[in-house]
Chains A and B, each alone.
Chain A
Amino acid sequence: MKRYVLLALAILFAAIYLFPVYWMYATALKTSGSIFKYPPELWPSQPLFQVSRVFAEHDIGRYLWNSLLVATGITAITMLLGTGAAYALANARGAKANVALFLVIVLQVLPPSLMVTPLFVAFNHVGLLDYPRTAVVLATAAKTLAFYIVLCRATFTQVPRELKDAALVDGNSHLGAFFLIILPLARNGILITSVLVFLQSFGEYVYSRSFIATRELQTATVNLATYLSANSADWVGLMNYAGIYVAPILIVFILLQRQIVTGLTSGALK
């Protein structure tokens, strides 16, 4: 019985927490007049499906594809550089390791909106702006790396040292022990942290907006922001676009969420 009370409580908490997401979809179905009504319509009285209008007005597929490419690139670089560093920092002791960890944290301090100008200047100087999506990937990966390292480091600290020592005794090199023993054990943690990084990168805005000058290469967030301009505020359109935009992520996420959460919370060794 207690278990079902807990479940009911859990669902109640989730419902409260998810209200803003519901509100996004509810607003998307309202008319531009009815969103200003008081009392607010908790459920749109005359739901109006404007998804096709938004699709017609914007080449959403193309922009989502760009977002996908950028997010994939960011995740790949983050995994490539972050996994090893997280593992090493989980083992390392001493002043040098502390300095490394310190740098990883400190170098994240400024929001992209403040980093973007210096990066723009530097990227322009070395010609990176000719490859705008690459520029976005490189700049954003420097933002996601700290998060990835801190989370993955926690996973690696859960791999018992004895396992690695045993592998070394068996004649593996450190390189071999890492790839053959440690990585498979920490696989869940790595994959899940990567999924989280991917989801975050999919919403990247500031760098994409500033580095990508060609319209065909722009990401969906940048396209979404065109809804908020000087002389119009098409909130319903914005919510529709946002709804379309997050739908694939939500679906993937709902399919994967069990793995994500169990993978993260059951530790590295399952």
Chain B
Amino acid sequence: MMRKLLLGLVFSTAATSAVIAAPVTLQVWALDEPVHFTENMAKEFEAKNPDIKLDIKLVNFANILNDTIRAVSTNTAPDLLMLDNPDVASVASHDVLLDLSDRIAASKVVDAKNFYPGPINQSTWKGKIYGFPRGGNTLGLYYNADLFKAAGLDPTKPPQTWDEISAAAAKLTDAKKRQYGFGFSAVATEESTFQFLPWAQSAGGDFNAINTDGSVRALQFWQKLVDDKVATPEVLVLNQPDLGSQFVAGNIGMIVTGCWELPRFANEVKFDWRVALMPVEKAGAPRASALGELAYAVPKTSAHPDEAFKFLEYIYSQSSRDWNEYGWLPLDQTATPKDPKWPEAYAVFAEQMKYARGRGPSPVWPKVSKAIQVAIQDALTHKTDAKAALDTAQSTIDGLIK
């Protein structure tokens, strides 16, 4: 009702050449836990722009794409929403999102040259920018230096290759104490694709070359960690937040997870913890990491695209706070944090970001990702061997992206 009234209001004022700037309420769908980023930004933005209000509805990760599709199909989409970065292409390919390229080019606040290439590539489809990344995140190796010392490992020399990971993990494992050497997430969602691809990429594979020898070796490596019980079989159901909680509890010596965990770890971890670059297959092998983070998008149906973009500009202008306050790398490369918190971790992640590779972009990403998830789960449970599982995934993916 309100929406329609407002819509009517906008059209009628437009017809009478908008004499008064009527206050505008932007409907926003945000995925905001645990840091309340959008909500904080909205408060600051509203204070500076009293004629614009943001009505924020929180959505959860599992539902953002569904909600978007349903809303877009029925013309009930909000003015601004958020998508996981590999999904931007899926939605944009249906021509339902507003192309932001011109607005970005014309903006006095946003300078397209300063975007980190990874996040903005993920938001681009056929040369046009449909997503506005909130920032960028990537994976790293977190380790418990106290456990390293107790196991006779040198905490200043974290493992850098797969073999070193295996060896260190074996030393860090203590079955009696339910303590495991290594942890990753192989849960049957996007998270396992996100976690697995860097391993495959480091060995020369990728999402569209998922059954190469390197990809198979990567999956066999994961498989062996679980078979050897240096990683808990629970990796099959552990999502990344739970993986992080296990690390906080001191149950796992080393985990792979994203920089978004830094604020929480800094608060909750009671031991000496450190961060290292993602391991590679062999010394000298190419480095790789995943590229994550959400992106804002403006549906074509929005009646207030200018106000929505103005809010995005405000977010961009605050980029230099991203690292210290929220634990992710800024959208604007030049907005390096002053006096970064956790400086060693910042150095690692800023370096790791250079090797971060996107997923896709592909308009059928959810299906591509699902094929990879199935292969991971089939191999880790020994339903099939790694090679056969990845062959199946490859033929599915070939059928999808041709």
Nearest residue in A to B252 (C-beta to C-beta)? A36
The answer to whether residues A233 and B57 also contact, given A120-B70, A121-B74 and a CB cut-off of 8 A, is: no
By the criterion CB–CB under 8 Å, are A215 and B55 in contact?
A: yes
13 additional contacts (CB under 8 A) given A124-B76, A227-B33, A233-B242: A33-B268, A38-B177, A124-B74, A130-B2, A213-B57, A213-B78, A215-B56, A215-B57, A229-B60, A230-B31, A231-B34, A234-B34, A235-B245
Cα distance, A90 to B2, chains bound together (Å): 45
What's the tally of chain A residues with a CB closer than 8 Å to chain B?
A: 32
Task: Check if A164 is an interface residue, CB within 8 A of chain B.
Answer: no
Contacts of A125 in B (CB 8 A): 74
By the criterion CB–CB under 8 Å, are A33 and B60 in contact?
A: no
Task: Check if A232 is an interface residue, CB within 8 A of chain B.
Answer: yes
Nearest residue in A to B63 (C-beta to C-beta)? A209
Specify which of B31, B73, B248 is in contact with A121 (CB 8 Å cutoff).
B73
Cα distance, A235 to B61, chains bound together (Å): 16
Task: Check if B27 is an interface residue, CB within 8 A of chain A.
Answer: yes
Task: Check if A117 is an interface residue, CB within 8 A of chain B.
Answer: yes
For chain B, what secondary structure do more than half of its interface residues adopt (helix, strand, loop), or is it mixed? mixed
By the criterion CB–CB under 8 Å, are A130 and B270 in contact?
A: no
Contacts of A80 in B (CB 8 A): none
Task: Check if B4 is an interface residue, CB within 8 A of chain A.
Answer: yes
Nearest residue in A to B58 (C-beta to C-beta)? A226
Q: Least Cβ distance of B295 to chain A in Å?
A: 13
Q: Least Cβ distance of A264 to chain B in Å?
A: 37
Q: Which residues of A pack against B, CB within 8 Å?
A: 32-38, 117, 120-121, 124-125, 129-131, 209-210, 213-215, 218, 225-235
Chain B positions 327-383 with a Cβ under 8 Å from a chain A Cβ: none
Over the window 259-288 of chain B, the binary record of Cβ atoms lying under 8 Å from chain A Cβ atoms (1 yes, 0 no) is 011001000101000000000000000000
Task: Check if B8 is an interface residue, CB within 8 A of chain A.
Answer: no
Counting chain B CB atoms within 10 Å of each CB, the highest count among A37, A213, A215, A225 belongs to: A213
CB-based closest 6 A-B pairs: A230-B61, A36-B249, A232-B34, A233-B241, A229-B33, A130-B1
> What are 24 of the A-B contact pairs (CB < 8 Å)?
A33-B248, A33-B250, A33-B270, A35-B249, A36-B246, A36-B251, A38-B178, A121-B74, A124-B76, A130-B4, A213-B57, A213-B78, A214-B55, A215-B57, A215-B58, A229-B32, A229-B33, A229-B61, A230-B60, A230-B240, A231-B61, A231-B258, A233-B242, A234-B33
Cα distance, A33 to B32, chains bound together (Å): 23
Nearest residue in A to B260 (C-beta to C-beta)? A231
Chain B positions 212-253 with a Cβ under 8 Å from a chain A Cβ: 239-242, 245-246, 248-251
Contacts of A35 in B (CB 8 A): 245, 249
Specify which of B2, B61, B67 is in contact with A210 (CB 8 Å cutoff).
B67
Cα distance, A131 to B3, chains bound together (Å): 12
Cα distance, A228 to B75, chains bound together (Å): 28
Contacts of B258 in A (CB 8 A): 231
Q: Least Cβ distance of A42 to chain B in Å?
A: 17
Nearest residue in B to A57 (C-beta to C-beta)? B36
Cα distance, A213 to B55, chains bound together (Å): 10
Specify which of A38, A120, A233, A235 is in contact with B74 (CB 8 Å cutoff).
A120
By the criterion CB–CB under 8 Å, are B249 and A226 in contact?
A: no
Nearest residue in B to A236 (C-beta to C-beta)? B245
Q: Least Cβ distance of B96 to chain A in Å?
A: 16
By the criterion CB–CB under 8 Å, are B70 and A117 in contact?
A: yes
Q: Least Cβ distance of A14 to chain B in Å?
A: 30
The answer to whether residues A36 and B245 also contact, given A130-B1, A229-B60 and a CB cut-off of 8 A, is: yes
Chain B positions 23-37 with a Cβ under 8 Å from a chain A Cβ: 27, 31-35
Nearest residue in B to A209 (C-beta to C-beta)? B63
